[in-house]
Structure 1
Amino acid sequence: MNVIIIGKNQKKIRIDKFIINKITNISRNQIQKYIKTGSILVNKNIIKNNYIIKPYDNIKINIPLKIKEKVNLYPAEKINIDVIHEDNDILIINKPPGLVVHPGNGNQSGTLMNGIKYYLNNSYLYRCGLVHRLDKDTSGILIIAKNNNSQKNLNKQFYLKTIKREYRALIWGKIPNEYGIIEGFIKRDPKNRKKMINSSFNNHGKYSITYYNVIERFNKYLTYISCKLGTGRTHQIRVHFKYIGYPIFNDILYSKRKLFFKKISKKYKFFFKECFKILPRQALHAQSISLIHPNNGKKYYFCCPIPDNFNKVLKLCRKLFNHNNIPCNIK
């Protein structure tokens, strides 16, 4: 049991944010779970996650101060890692498609996290330094924190939305606007636990917002876009574009090929089948990220190129639909 008495000059702050600055090796999500279960009390009362602490509050924290997750018991494995940048505090990598980020049921080895442990010589890192994730079949930029101070700093930057991320995606259809905003509330699909769904109503979902700009159009069939995240929810970009009727190209989980093949003329069906073979996963790539370095306070920007198979599909589309290709400025 740990007891904290709030001083008279304490500024107003949410209790979960306050605690994460007091305890190392713990995530904000874990703190919120402990609050819900009553393991964290204020003035002997159970409170909500958004409780604002007040001067002289008595906070009782009945949780282990040194948390070790099962993930840290997984073996280190030699896996090729494409390092874009590395220093004493952060590791920026280009994750290839098809690589699972962290161990779980059915994939306790062969993941990026196993490779990170090997790369860092089995160093103990809370969650192996993960501060955000990418889906298995999404490629691109990923940040790894190399120490606890960096992880706390980067987690705070994600929470305050000072970290900016840009994605590139190829979507089905001819989206009408050159740029736009998609928002709603994302939650797990009760009919399929592997999927997420978006709703315009706050029915137990998490608020989410995505900004997009059109880069190129390929006839009425495909649109190449840039996306920037206002929030970072599970499958957010994939769910949002499914929600508005323009799902990610070759996203098996969120789009049905048969529906789109009904709208495609026969002369183009063979072309798209070949594209599926070239790019056998969703056409989504984490292109760039900007952040404030957790140690020196300088602003950093990192970018990684579109993977070869994704780029090949784009080139084939440009060649076939060249007369209808309308490049647009990214805003």
Structure 2
Amino acid sequence: MSEELLPQDELKLYEHHTFVVDAGQTPVRLDQYLAQRLTHLSRSRLQLAITVGLITVNGQSARPSTKVRPHQVIQVRLPYPPPLDITPEPIPLQIVYEDPYLLVVNKPAGMSCHPGAGVYSGTLLNALMHHLKQQPLPATEQNAARPGLVHRIDKDTTGLLVVAKEERAYFGLAQQFFAHSVRRRYWALVWGSPQQEKGTVTAWIGRDPRQRKKYRAYPEGSQGKHAVTHWRVLERFPLATWVECQLETGRTHQIRVHLAYLGHPLVGDKTYGGDRPRIPVRSALIGQWAHKLLAYLPRQALHAYLLGFTHPITGQWLEFEAPLPADFAQALAFLRSLTPTSSQAQ
């Protein structure tokens, strides 16, 4: 038996295990086989994970009673948070939708999704714990810090997130994110004017070897993880362009890295070069416009405006939209005021 565990900095919200069954393994139930190896997980949770498709055998879905055979490859992908306590805090939340199983929240700029290095309060999970009156959110036994989160957006990105309130929803939503069946679309404001009206960026994303807190694109796939972003122009302005982005994969900083790779970083994105004008400043007036735009949007101009998924309990397709936040809307209004002939895509 061999096991492969992915690097910790790539896991974030999930643990991944790959088991190759020994040649001498006698037939045994899949849930029993895994319970003997993943001792931090109860058998009932393993059974649930198998049932919703988070555990596969030779790339295929299985049943808890499936017999494990020699040389089979068993892949385990389970959502989990690190072992930190979450303190409920009375932070206002914009709840877009809520039922007994899950909720959808519109996250503001400046709020981290979860506690982490140097961040111990003021996060989305602190607010959620208060909202749910400390009702236990689903998580595995070993980990209890980011319960309910199956995806996240950056601290200074605004927009929609789905949060599970019970375990079946937690695992069911996680499976959809792994299968890339969740519909996610973003609005972004980028410096300059892309030559085309729409396009697709296919470039692997991995950590920048010189700055570990940054990521970079590897177009030849030499490092990192496969990542695909589709984009289209919504409206062009003298300084910047409003675009829509659709994620095919969900890597850390994916849209920010891919658009910077195209030469059009997000307005206000300090990490990827968007905190200064990325256009030829041919006059003092153009420079003034650019700096005023940054005053309207001192953060990265990215908003997760659309989120769609299948309800993990009812099977109903749900889709939600969040309007532009005030700072993004003000930035667009300012850009439109610069010229009466901004180009709006049809």
TM-score (norm 2): 0.78
- More moved, 273-282 vs 135-144: 273-282
Shift of the 92–256 alpha-carbon distance from structure 1 to 2, 3 Å rule, reads: closer
Shift of the 56–91 alpha-carbon distance from structure 1 to 2, 3 Å rule, reads: closer
Deviation, structure 1 residue 29: 3.5
Which of the numbers 281, 285, 297 marks the counterpart of 2:303? 285
Query: 2:124 maps to what in 1?
Result: 112
- Output the CA distance in 2 between the equivalents of 1:264 and 1:82: 43
Shift of the 69–309 alpha-carbon distance from structure 1 to 2, 3 Å rule, reads: closer
Query: 2:201 maps to what in 1?
Result: 182
Give ranges in structure 1 of 5+ residues lacking alignment.
Answer: 4-14, 17-25, 46-53
Q: Paired residues, what number? A: 291
Deviation track 1:221-266 (CA, whole Å, cap 9, x = no partner) reads: 2110001000000000000011111111111110155562653531
Identity rate, percent: 34
Deviation, structure 1 residue 308: 0.9
Q: Does 1:222 align with 2:234?
A: no
Shift of the 62–293 alpha-carbon distance from structure 1 to 2, 3 Å rule, reads: closer
- Output the CA distance in 2 between the equivalents of 1:152 and 1:267: 54
- More moved, 56-65 vs 121-130: 56-65
Deviation track 1:58-114 (CA, whole Å, cap 9, x = no partner) reads: 665243115985455121111111100000111100000010111011111111111
Query: 1:21 maps to what in 2?
Result: none
- Output the CA distance in 1 between the equivalents of 2:245 and 2:100: 30
On the 8 A contact 2:274/2:300 being kept in 1, the answer is no
Deviation, structure 1 residue 27: 9.6
Greater helix share, structure number: 1
- Output the CA distance in 1 between the equivalents of 2:330 and 2:13: 41
- Output the CA distance in 2 between the equivalents of 1:225 and 1:256: 15
Which of the numbers 16, 21, 35 marks the counterpart of 1:31? 16
- Output the CA distance in 2 between the equivalents of 1:320 and 1:223: 13
Query: 1:161 maps to what in 2?
Result: 180
Shift of the 124–223 alpha-carbon distance from structure 1 to 2, 3 Å rule, reads: same
- Output the CA distance in 2 between the equivalents of 1:265 and 1:174: 18
Deviation, structure 1 residue 43: 2.1
On the 8 A contact 1:140/1:287 being kept in 2, the answer is yes
Shift of the 264–299 alpha-carbon distance from structure 1 to 2, 3 Å rule, reads: farther
Which of the numbers 318, 323, 327 marks the counterpart of 2:336? 318
RMSD: 2.7
On the 8 A contact 1:71/1:103 being kept in 2, the answer is no
Q: Does 1:299 align with 2:299?
A: no
On the 8 A contact 2:234/2:244 being kept in 1, the answer is yes
Q: Does 1:235 align with 2:214?
A: no
Q: Which amino acid aligns with 2:22?
A: N
- Output the CA distance in 1 between the equivalents of 2:299 and 2:12: 31
- Output the CA distance in 2 between the equivalents of 1:95 and 1:259: 27
- Output the CA distance in 2 between the equivalents of 1:209 and 1:173: 22
- More moved, 259-268 vs 146-155: 259-268
Query: 2:168 maps to what in 1?
Result: 149
Give ranges in structure 2 of 5+ residues lacking alignment.
Answer: 6-10, 46-79, 140-145
On the 8 A contact 1:248/1:283 being kept in 2, the answer is yes
Shift of the 262–78 alpha-carbon distance from structure 1 to 2, 3 Å rule, reads: same
On the 8 A contact 1:41/1:61 being kept in 2, the answer is no
- Output the CA distance in 2 between the equivalents of 1:280 and 1:264: 23
On the 8 A contact 1:209/1:231 being kept in 2, the answer is yes
Query: 2:21 maps to what in 1?
Result: 42
Shift of the 306–206 alpha-carbon distance from structure 1 to 2, 3 Å rule, reads: same
Question: What aligned pairs does 1:74-153 form with structure 2 within 5 A after superposition?
Answer: 74-125=86-137, 126=139, 127-153=146-172
Query: 1:201 maps to what in 2?
Result: 220
Deviation, structure 1 residue 152: 0.8
TM-score (norm 1): 0.81
Deviation track 1:132-154 (CA, whole Å, cap 9, x = no partner) reads: 00100000001101111001111
Query: 1:274 maps to what in 2?
Result: 292
Q: Which amino acid aligns with 2:307?
A: I
On the 8 A contact 1:182/1:210 being kept in 2, the answer is yes
- More moved, 252-261 vs 104-113: 252-261
User: 1:170 is paired with a residue of what secondary structure?
Assistant: strand
